[in-house]
Chains A and B, each alone.
Chain A
Amino acid sequence: MNKGLILSLTLLMVFSLFSFTVMAQDEVTLTLWDIRTAADQATPAVKDAIDRFEADNPNIKIEHVPTQNDNYKTKLRTAMSADNAPDIFMSWGSASLERYVNAEKVSSLESYMTEDWRSNFMPAAMNLGIVDEEVYGVPVTNVSPALVWYRTDLFEEYGLEVPETYEDLKNVAETFIDNGISPFALANKDKWPGSMYFMYLVDRIGGPEALQKAISREGAFNDEAFVEAGRKIQELVEMGAFPDGVNGLDENASQSRTLLYTDRAAMYLMGSWAYSGIKNEAPDMVEQFSFFNFPAIESGEGDPSNLVGTPGDNYYSVSTKTKNKEAAVEFLKYLTDVQMGEKLIEIGNIPPFTGVGDKINDPIMKKIYNSSQKANYIQLWYDQTLPLELAQVHLNTTQALFGMEMTPEEAANQMEAAAQEYYGE
């Protein structure tokens, strides 16, 4: 090869290395990992926060790396275990965050928590970002409780009232069954949709304490509340409150909502995200949908204002790997400020921030926001509250309850046995 050419190439390489080092001294790049792909609803709001932050801090670049939800979990886990964590990452709070905090992968935000910043969040949401009394993650999106969605026009047609109690609910279900309509739409292949019924029944029967005591081991997972919840589910299954073969239907393929759109089902217990699903899939039917809180059980201890669901979702945290913690925390403030809240509301996402209610125009969204504010307690999904091993047992046994493959006692005992093994009793 021509010597001159080699020489010039070498020089070029040396210079490019040199220029890179010079650049790196001035510019800070923060890597941000989350699930805000183009298809994600909240993406524009996060992009907007990044733009605002970069405009105000011209020497800092945010390198945004979005990954699709399920792959994200694997990717983050792999990076964390290989000590390749990004500067800022997203988790789902609670157990998903705790796992990384315990492995010392997450920086505490406690020292940055000014009074102002703290009061910006709904307390129920903030709680899930706290591990050992220190804040490790701040919630940004998705106040999404599970609610009973229903077809208002079908209720009118059969002269039905919104049920206040479980007995009312059974009467409503009875009427629909007599008219050849399935009372509830449910697609339980992935197990978590059916779990919502179980969680609400446990709450209404035993209150939030039932689960808390079972986890703290003062109580047990085969206490009366859990067994009775199982009995009520099977009572509903036996009366025909659910469509055939629920355990084979896929919620992700909208096999449940299709039943609602075609007048074959009237009610649907599902997270508030169902609303955006309905808006997308059946825009001309949106008016025919509303929701009510899961009914009370007269003899039960649970407060009917209690909700099950996500008080706030997608917690953003700073990893211990970052070299620019100050800048990363500063970015988190942009991600949780008033402008971000407004942007999210504009998109149709309810942020877990206080004092944004009056900015919501959509009546259903406003109703969801108000129900969440009014709730005495928001129970996070069991499959996120419980350790992974127990969460799976909970999901499996609940699916078996719907399939009538286990008695309520068997299901509860299996859950308790798994808990005893897990807690090493």
Chain B
Amino acid sequence: MNKKDLLNNKYFIAALFLLPAVIFSLVYLIIPIPLSAYYSFFKWDGIGAMEFLGFDNWSKLLSDPIFWSSMANNFKLIAISLVVQIPIALFLAVLLTRKIKGASFFKTIYFVPMLLSSIAVAFLWRYMYDPTFGLINGVLNLVGLEQLTRSWLGDPDIAFYSVAAPVQWRFIPLYMIIFMAGISNIPKQLYEAAEIDGANNLQTFFFVTLPMLRSTVINASVLIIVGSLKYFAMIFALTGGGPNHASELMATYLYSKSFTEMNMGYGSTISVALFLVALIVSFLFLNLSKKDVRN
């Protein structure tokens, strides 16, 4: 095949344009997965020689109470996020797609948390949680609810819920936008038909909007599940997983093992476990939700 033919071959051209993206995802996304699995069989500090351990890291992981409690925290985060983010995001989306005054203004305002960087949001909340000077304890004191004031981030019993709150606040707008896009795709005729049949607002929502948004809600749930399993940024910035691992997630634990304690082998083991858990959970969820559709 001569040069000219090659350049006229549309598959060749397509491959050429895809190449940079393919190389990028291979190097940064695909190859690290088997590589981490490989590292998980070694004791390695990231610079020195690697010492083969066999399945030692894995058996250590299975009997590591901190790993299990951090995984439990991940599942708690999933549950909280599903219960909090989806209904609120859905409510806001329905509200803002109606023809109300200033909808576009509120759209922008509600989207702000998503635009701020995670770390900035974390700092904002850190100052709100300050036990002496913080907004939350300040308001509680002001209205005479002194008995409710807490050391929000310092008390191991509530630290996890304190760090989960800003995560909800930040991600609701994302799902709000997704639902708004979903709602605008619902054919107008359905609403007109519902109106003719005499459906009220609530009925319209439950019998038209919600069923039509079904796949969008499922997609959003998958995003929430995977996102919550991998979550890291704000928890790391707020408590670093502390106090005494009370707000530890798999990702923060993985970070402190690999980069603070320089135990890359064990860190890789946690990361592979995290990958497997995320894979299994999202696979199960997608399968279950698919089955329902066919029925």
| Separation of A105 and B48 alpha carbons in the complex (Å) | 10
Is the Cβ of B132 less than 8 Å from the Cβ of A247?
no
Is the Cβ of B261 less than 8 Å from the Cβ of A392?
yes
For B131, B243, B262, which residue has the most chain A Cβ atoms within 10 angstroms? Answer: B243
- B131, chain A: closest CB distance, angstroms: 5
Q: Does A384 contact B (CB under 8 A)?
A: no
Complex interface residues of chain B between 27 and 71 (CB less than 8 A to chain A): 45-48
Is the Cβ of B47 less than 8 Å from the Cβ of A244?
no
Q: Does A246 contact B (CB under 8 A)?
A: yes
Interface string of B111-136 (1 = CB under 8 A from A): 00000000000010011011111000
- B69, chain A: closest CB distance, angstroms: 13
Is the Cβ of A405 less than 8 Å from the Cβ of B156?
yes
Is the Cβ of A400 less than 8 Å from the Cβ of B244?
yes
| Stretch of B74-82, B147-155, B196-204 at the chain-chain interface | B147-155
Is the Cβ of B123 less than 8 Å from the Cβ of A389?
no
- A102: contacting residue among B48, B156, B243, B259, CB under 8 A: B48
Across-interface contacts of B45 in A (CB, < 8 A): 99, 388
Main secondary structure of the interface of A (DSSP, over half): helix
- A253: contacting residue among B126, B256, B262, CB under 8 A: B126
Is the Cβ of A247 less than 8 Å from the Cβ of B127?
no
Complex interface residues of chain A between 379 and 404 (CB less than 8 A to chain B): 388-389, 392, 396, 399-400, 403
Is the Cβ of A405 less than 8 Å from the Cβ of B152?
no
Closest residue on chain B to residue A100 by CB atoms: B47
Is the Cβ of B240 less than 8 Å from the Cβ of A189?
yes
- B47: contacting residue among A77, A245, A399, A400, CB under 8 A: A77
Across-interface contacts of A246 in B (CB, < 8 A): 154
Main secondary structure of the interface of B (DSSP, over half): loop
For A102, A191, A248, A400, which residue has the most chain B Cβ atoms within 10 angstroms? Answer: A248
Given contacts A77-B47, A389-B263, A248 and B155 within 8 Å (CB-CB): yes
- A314, chain B: closest CB distance, angstroms: 20
Is the Cβ of B243 less than 8 Å from the Cβ of A248?
yes
Q: Does B260 contact A (CB under 8 A)?
A: yes
For A255, A264, A399, which residue has the most chain B Cβ atoms within 10 angstroms? Answer: A255
Q: Does B239 contact A (CB under 8 A)?
A: yes
- B234, chain A: closest CB distance, angstroms: 13
For B242, B256, B260, which residue has the most chain A Cβ atoms within 10 angstroms? Answer: B242
Q: For chain B, which range describes its interface: under 10, 10 to 19, 20 to 34, or 35 or more residues?
A: 20 to 34
- A234, chain B: closest CB distance, angstroms: 14
Q: Does A179 contact B (CB under 8 A)?
A: no
Across-interface contacts of B260 in A (CB, < 8 A): 388, 392
Is the Cβ of A189 less than 8 Å from the Cβ of B261?
no
- A128, chain B: closest CB distance, angstroms: 19
Across-interface contacts of B229 in A (CB, < 8 A): none
Given contacts A189-B239, A189-B242, A255-B130, A389 and B46 within 8 Å (CB-CB): no
| Separation of A246 and B132 alpha carbons in the complex (Å) | 11
Closest residue on chain A to residue B162 by CB atoms: A248
- A96, chain B: closest CB distance, angstroms: 11
Is the Cβ of A80 less than 8 Å from the Cβ of B262?
no
| Separation of A375 and B242 alpha carbons in the complex (Å) | 35
- A386, chain B: closest CB distance, angstroms: 11
Given contacts A253-B123, A253-B127, A392-B261, A248 and B132 within 8 Å (CB-CB): no
Q: Does A67 contact B (CB under 8 A)?
A: no
Closest residue on chain B to residue A243 by CB atoms: B132
| Separation of A105 and B47 alpha carbons in the complex (Å) | 10
- B265, chain A: closest CB distance, angstroms: 12
| Separation of A336 and B37 alpha carbons in the complex (Å) | 46
Complex interface residues of chain A between 260 and 308 (CB less than 8 A to chain B): 262, 264
Is the Cβ of A74 less than 8 Å from the Cβ of B126?
no
Is the Cβ of A74 less than 8 Å from the Cβ of B242?
no
Closest residue on chain A to residue B152 by CB atoms: A248
Across-interface contacts of B129 in A (CB, < 8 A): 248
Given contacts A250-B126, A399-B243, A403-B243, A259 and B155 within 8 Å (CB-CB): no
Given contacts A253-B123, A399-B243, A405-B244, A247 and B154 within 8 Å (CB-CB): yes
Is the Cβ of A248 less than 8 Å from the Cβ of B131?
yes
- A190: contacting residue among B48, B240, B244, CB under 8 A: B240
Q: Does B93 contact A (CB under 8 A)?
A: no
Q: Does B159 contact A (CB under 8 A)?
A: yes
Across-interface contacts of A264 in B (CB, < 8 A): 132
Is the Cβ of B154 less than 8 Å from the Cβ of A245?
yes
Interface string of A96-110 (1 = CB under 8 A from B): 000110110100000
- A245: contacting residue among B151, B240, B259, CB under 8 A: B151
| Separation of A191 and B241 alpha carbons in the complex (Å) | 12
Complex interface residues of chain B between 140 and 198 (CB less than 8 A to chain A): 150-156, 159
- A267, chain B: closest CB distance, angstroms: 16
Is the Cβ of B47 less than 8 Å from the Cβ of A248?
no
Is the Cβ of B256 less than 8 Å from the Cβ of A392?
yes
Q: Does A360 contact B (CB under 8 A)?
A: no
Q: Does A57 contact B (CB under 8 A)?
A: no
Q: Does A152 contact B (CB under 8 A)?
A: no
Q: Does A81 contact B (CB under 8 A)?
A: yes
Complex interface residues of chain A between 213 and 252 (CB less than 8 A to chain B): 243-250
Given contacts A399-B244, A403-B244, A405-B244, A248 and B151 within 8 Å (CB-CB): yes
Given contacts A248-B152, A399-B243, A258 and B131 within 8 Å (CB-CB): no
Is the Cβ of B47 less than 8 Å from the Cβ of A81?
yes
| Separation of A270 and B133 alpha carbons in the complex (Å) | 21
Is the Cβ of B261 less than 8 Å from the Cβ of A245?
no
| Separation of A191 and B263 alpha carbons in the complex (Å) | 19
- B236, chain A: closest CB distance, angstroms: 11
Closest residue on chain B to residue A400 by CB atoms: B244
Is the Cβ of A248 less than 8 Å from the Cβ of B123?
no
- A424, chain B: closest CB distance, angstroms: 12
| Separation of A405 and B45 alpha carbons in the complex (Å) | 30
Interface string of A168-210 (1 = CB under 8 A from B): 0000000000000000000001110000000000000000000
Q: Which residues of A contact B (CB under 8 A)?
A: 74, 77, 80-81, 99-100, 102-103, 105, 189-191, 243-250, 253, 255, 258-259, 262, 264, 388-389, 392, 396, 399-400, 403, 405
4 A-B pairs with least C-beta separation:
A245-B151, A245-B154, A248-B154, A248-B153
Known: A396-B245, A403-B156. 10 other contacts (CB 8 A): A77-B47, A102-B48, A244-B131, A245-B153, A247-B243, A248-B155, A388-B262, A392-B256, A405-B156, A405-B243
Show 13 A/B contacts (Cβ-Cβ < 8 Å), sorted by A.
Answer: A243-B131, A244-B151, A245-B131, A245-B150, A246-B154, A247-B153, A248-B243, A249-B131, A249-B154, A255-B126, A392-B256, A392-B260, A405-B243
